[in-house]
Amino acid sequence: MRNSMIKALLLSSVVGALTMVSGCSTSIAGQWLQQQSVEAYEPVVETTPEPQETSSIGSKEMDVLVEQGPLSPSGKSYGYYDSVEPTYVDGVLLVNKDYALPRSYGSGEDPEAYQALQKLQSAAWNAGYSLPMMSGFRSFDYQEELYNDYVAVDGVEKADTYSAWPGHSEHQTGLAFDVGWVNLQFAYTGAGKWLAAHAHEYGFIIRYPKGKENVTGYQYEPWHIRYLGTELAEKVYESGLCLEEYLGVA
């Protein structure tokens, strides 16, 4: 404000001097002074700069993250399990850490497999052993809850050796059952030995056999049986191979 007043006084003095020397009319000098005074007091209006287009660097990666969404325990997006298709190898449904099931797959135990389980249990009972079903069908969501519970207790690395990620559990097929006693000591019981020797006669295999941990991705589980039908189960049993090896996908 003070600078503006000094500028106006100086301008007035200059105009007065010009009027006296050159004979300019007072009206012309007044108009010029008025114009300069308006300019001196004209407020400065700050303008907001126009938004600039941001760089596209990294946008591709961001699009991938947005499309991918939250990750499941397998490291794949949950959206992956909405569109993945079941994998069949030579007509056999294969589910493991590489081959998944869609989230919506399954609604209970497979009727044929469950009927075969009952025959197996009856035969075991007649032989003097009890093989109660400890676990049957598990949905995607239930398997996720179970897996997360194991992780909370043992951590991810250990849990991955005995618990399947949601979408990668054979229990979701309705063709797999945990029977007898869910403990490694079960293998040394009479019931465990009977199961290992006779499961194939009723269409089942020990899905995760001892010595095949590096192939199946899971520890030895003498209680986990998978239904294949009597003909194929006997072939796999006689081969001494795990299912991945027998199907040629190991």
Residues with a known catalytic role: 221
**60 to each of 56, 63, 186, 235, how far by Cα in Å?**
8, 5, 52, 50
First-to-final CA distance of the chain: 86
Tokens of 190: 């009479």
4 contact partners, CB below 8 Å, separation of at least 6: 40, 41
**Helix (H) or strand (E) run with residue 89 in it:** strand 87-89
Tokens of 56: 């596209």
Nearest to 169 by CA among 137, 200, 206: 137
Distance CA 34, CA 162 (A): 91
Strand order of the β-sheet with 221-227 is: 133-135, 176-179, 221-227, 204-208
Distance CA 56, CA 61 (A): 10
Tokens of 188: 């040394």
**146 to each of 4, 8, 47, 128, 150, how far by Cα in Å?**
78, 84, 59, 32, 6
Pairing of the two strands 204-208 and 176-179? unpaired
